[in-house]
Structure 1
Amino acid sequence: MRSLQSDVEQRGTRIFELVDKHPERLFSKAGFYQRLMALSMHDERFKTQLFRFVAVLPSLRRPSEIIQHLEEYFSDSNDGFSPLVGMGVRVARLVPWISAPVLRWNVSEMARQFIAGRNAHDVIAILRKRQAQKIGFTVDVLGEAVVSEAETDGYAALYGDLLEKLAHETRDWTDPLGKNAELFPIVNLSVKVSALYSQISPAAPADAIAHLSTKLRPLLRRARELGAFINFDMESYALKN
């Protein structure tokens, strides 16, 4: 077991080394969003509020609503971002009909860095563009918490279908990293295990494993047949032991 853990850590370290060697340009759009996200990761509350604001933004119609929510989400933060956010809110209040559309556009652009599309067809189109740019991928499905086993069945079927579509569409692709291909299988699917069992709890790992295994085994077996990589994605701190 220790040998496996060491191998995982070594591969993970190597992946991060490769990422650090090829950062986005500082003054590019991708570089700006990359650094914004890196900064937000240092403050858990700011990160949470940022993603909540991104989630609610599409439902806000009037410029005044956008500015109001911006202030409500960020004005009382006790972090290094508060002065900048406060200044931004004050400026935004002066010309909300200009600042609100600009804010919406920027948030939408940031979201597009992470949300490739609404369905498999949209996702494949984006992945083809990334392949042409020699950029690899891992595909995730939005959503994590589930409240019923019927929902978990839906997620399991969705992951299985997505795995098949990705393998089919990328069957003729070559790895963008060439000599590092063994680190990055072309098909890389991120699976939120918490979406596969509604009663998952770190206090009852044996129960969680017993229920999760029935959904994960078929997916993992099929991934092995297809030469795909399955990444277990655990986002919620509440589920980490």
Structure 2
Amino acid sequence: MVRAFFLFLSRQKQLRRWMETSPVAQRLSKRFVAGETLEQALAVSRKLNKQGITVTLDHLGESVTSLAEAREARDVYRRTLDAIHAGDIQGNVSLKLTQFGLDLSYEECLANVEQLVRRAAELGSFVRVDMESSEYVDRTLDLVRTLHARHGAVGVVIQSYLYRSKDDIAKLCAEKIRVRLCKGAYLEPASLAFPQKSDVDRSYVELTQKLLTYGVYPAIATHDEAMIGQTKQFVSSKGIGRECFEFQMLYGIRADLQRQLVADGYRLRLYVPFGKAWYPYYMRRLAERPANVLFILRNLFRT
């Protein structure tokens, strides 16, 4: 119920306009967002690198309404890739295709993202294409496959709560396309996704083991200590080296667990979002964990 409520709020445009201009809300967003500017995100990235943590930078935004906006997003990401390289930051970028015009023109979206993947390949970097709601899965996978065949330097995200993900991962492993596995943060019908958390978790474990066995440098994205523990046990039992995969977590969530993973010798990358369009991302984080809601309420009454 709480999850559905916050996902509903994430789509409310009037509330979004108020939140993104409210000084109080902006202060609270700093729990999960590195800042509004690239410079702020780079400063956070340097601090994380010093702690032994790599990053993937995400310039927040999705569902643009014009191709001009899509091209602006492309240019921001181009500057981000160049800044990561120039600053010798251990990191790459993550992006959403609807920010690059997927709802408006597949061809324009492909052209925009191809410029970034080509540049990433030139710099020895990498572009991770985030997965959005189920209606975008086929187009997202088609675009990633096209760019991977042309340039490499691109991977994708698969969500364990979708029934189709088992087949998608089998194909992606065969194609040697890098995958980040997460549970999924969008509200989906029971006809497409597991409605019960226990089934989502079971799917996550199964898909994690497939990726670790057959995938190319998979990213295991979770804050769930049980999932992390099972991953550790599996790689140990199979003799899979810690250099063969990485854990991924979100900036601002479970810093204690992040420190422990690094101390134990595991590779960890944080998803570091920045930008002014932080509201939908922020609401999805609240939807995922009730503890995040309590944190916000406590701090709200302190302001």
Give 1 or 2 for the bigger CA radius of gyration.
Answer: 1
Which one has a larger percent helix, Structure 1 or Structure 2? Answer: 1
Bigger RCO of structures 1 and 2 (CA < 8 A, at least 6 apart): 2
What TM-score comes out, normalization by structure 2 length? 0.39
Which one has a larger percent strand, Structure 1 or Structure 2? Answer: 2
What TM-score comes out, normalization by structure 1 length? 0.47
